[in-house]
Chain A
Amino acid sequence: MSVAVKRIKSVLFYSGAVALCAPPLFVFAWMIMTGLKTGSQNIAYPPEFFFTPTLENFRAVFQQHDFFHFLMNSVIIATLATGLSLVLGLPAAYSIAKYKQGRIGLIILLARMTPFVSYLLPWYIIFRSMGLIDTYTALTVTHLIITLPMVTWLMISFFESVPAELEDAAMIDGCTRLRTFLTIVLPLVRNGIATSAIMAFIFSWNQFLFSLILSGPRTKTVPVAVYNFISYGKIDWAGIGAAATLIVLPVSVFAFFVRKSIVQGLTMGAMKD
């Protein structure tokens, strides 16, 4: 290949890279800029690309809207849902991997197939009669619908990669099955545990619909909180920009660390066979 053709090819290749990065970067940048502008700057036309940034919106989000409370709600619910999913999902995934229990895997997949709205109405009615609307219990339990299948399916492939000889050796040494699982197998899949924990946290954090219906002033999570910036007739763009930045940044950082395993978490075993 001549030098010229090679050069044209590499130019095309890198313009492709620019084309792929531009849309996400632009939206991300616009989100942060919206949060750093004043209210009137945000509805100015032509839009201002250069301006003196202000942190006033971020201050207002915390002081006027009690955003810290909502952030804590999201952290608490996502942590509880993630923790419970690990406690329930790790042994299940181990068993499915070890004993090839594909049927059980299917039950877990069913949870993902059903439209969330069809859970929501029964849940709303049941929780209302039990007085559980606007409690961490109700939100954590419903978030399990998303996080538990995700953790289980992600972990199956990690458990499959643990050599059976190691477990056998442990059991010959007199370990019970439970001890073998806790002290031999789990430490070997700690990368998988970290990955599925992060994925579960991200998806619980991002959940909007369940919180919209089942939360209230006490347990409102951040997606509902930012949505409420538009529900009083006038839209507080600057506040939305600041709040959106605060919500999106942590999950983006998390996603960066698990990007290599995202596929396993999403495909839930569908890539196999």
Chain B
Amino acid sequence: MRRIAQALSDFIDRRQSWVFPAPAVIVLLLIVVFPIAFNLYLAFTKWTIGLGQPRFIGLDNFVDLLTDERVLNGTVVMIAFSGLSLALEMGLGLMIALYFNREFKGSEAVQAIYIFPFAATPVAVALIWRIMLNPEVGVLNYLLRLVGLPGSLWVSSEHTVILSLVMVDVWKWTPMITLIVLAGLKSLPHDPYEAARIDGANALQIFWHITLPMIRPVLIAALMLRSLDNLKEFDMIYTITQGGPGIASETLYLYSYTVGFQFFKAGYGSALMVVVFLIVLVFNVVMNRLRLAK
């Protein structure tokens, strides 16, 4: 009798582990995996939305990609924008996390204010930045001139547009890196620090030889998470420049949107989206290797 009850309970156990996650998994398969498969199929077709049916054309879209100037431009812009903003966000994020890792009076309040940009609606704050970055009447140029510096053309010039967008991205997302790294710092063991202090190591040595190696996996995890959103940054660039002036700030991701939803070229757009997906995937696989390597 007991054994039957036990078997029954085991059976429910096994079933629960399927029944509980099943709805979420099914919904995600429907809304994620199915569209990805459809997207992959479209990438091998020629089709303008609203005109006829998709026509299979093999690898033609991918061949066209290679000679498309805007693809090359988009790749360069993406590397410049993401490289700069990720490097700055990681560097600043780590420094600020070290700063907050020390308890001080009012640190709670400072942190609460500091992380405000993180939750703020991207489109809304990007529009405010657009006002502030205006070369003629914007407050940023006014403040620069106030301290005797020349104003900048910011997002109105193709030479400064990427740097300006990097600045906004750093403003918005460095707090996220800080929060993640700070959580990592708080969970570090105390023993190595005490040993180092007894050995007479100075603050810089302690940081370089103890903190940095121990925090490395967390840093890479933070970089991975941030890169997921950064490589496909849309809201802010679309709101502030729409890829302009000309195509000076048009990332590959933004271009794939333009092809799909402004030119309605579903086939070619899908091929571009596959490329963007592969870039994000490869970057994350490489980072994950780095994170797990000893």
Contact = CB atoms under 8 A, between A and B. Distances in A.
A193 interface: no
Given A145-B31, A237-B131, A223 B17 contact: no
A208 B34 CA distance: 22
A259 B100 CA distance: 14
A152 to B, nearest CB: 6
Interface in A247-273: 247-248, 251-252, 254-256, 259, 262-263, 266-268, 270-271
Interface stretch (B80-88, B156-164, B178-186, B204-212): B178-186
Interface string B146-183: 00000000000000000000000001000010011011
A46 B273 contact: no
A226 interface: yes
A267 B171 CA distance: 20
A252 B107 CA distance: 18
Interface string B88-118: 0000000010010000101100111111111
A123 B176 CA distance: 30
B276 A118 contact: yes
A119 B32 contact: yes
B21 A96 contact: yes
Interface in A217-258: 222-224, 226-227, 229-230, 237, 240-241, 243-244, 247-248, 251-252, 254-256
A98 B224 CA distance: 27
Contacts of A177: 12-13, 16
A259 B111 contact: yes
Contacts of B17: 95, 98-99, 101
Contacts, number: 258
Interface residues of B, number: 87
A111 B32 contact: yes
A194 B273 CA distance: 35
Given A89-B24, A255-B119, A262-B118, A118 B124 contact: no
Interface in A5-44: 13, 16-17, 20-21, 23-25, 27-28, 30-31, 34, 42-44
Interface string A107-142: 110111111111111111110000000000000011
Contacts of A154: none
B142 to A, nearest CB: 5
A31 B128 contact: yes
Interface string B114-148: 11111111111101110110001111001000000
B28 A223 contact: no
Interface string B246-283: 00000001001100110000100110011011001100
A80 interface: no
B43 to A, nearest CB: 9
Contacts of B79: none
13 contacts: A24-B171, A30-B132, A34-B128, A91-B23, A92-B23, A104-B21, A119-B31, A141-B31, A208-B123, A255-B116, A266-B179, A266-B225, A267-B221
Given A23-B117, A206-B121, 5 more contacts: A118-B270, A205-B121, A230-B127, A267-B180, A267-B225
List the 10 shortest-distance A-B pairs measured between CB atoms, nearest first: A255-B119, A95-B20, A122-B35, A92-B24, A244-B124, A91-B20, A122-B38, A118-B273, A92-B21, A223-B123
Interface of B: 12-13, 16-17, 19-21, 23-25, 27-29, 31-36, 38-39, 42, 49, 96, 99, 104, 106-107, 110-125, 127-129, 131-132, 136-139, 142, 171, 176, 179-180, 182-184, 218, 221-222, 224-225, 228, 231-232, 234-235, 239, 253, 256-257, 260-261, 266, 269-270, 273-274, 276-277, 280-281, 284
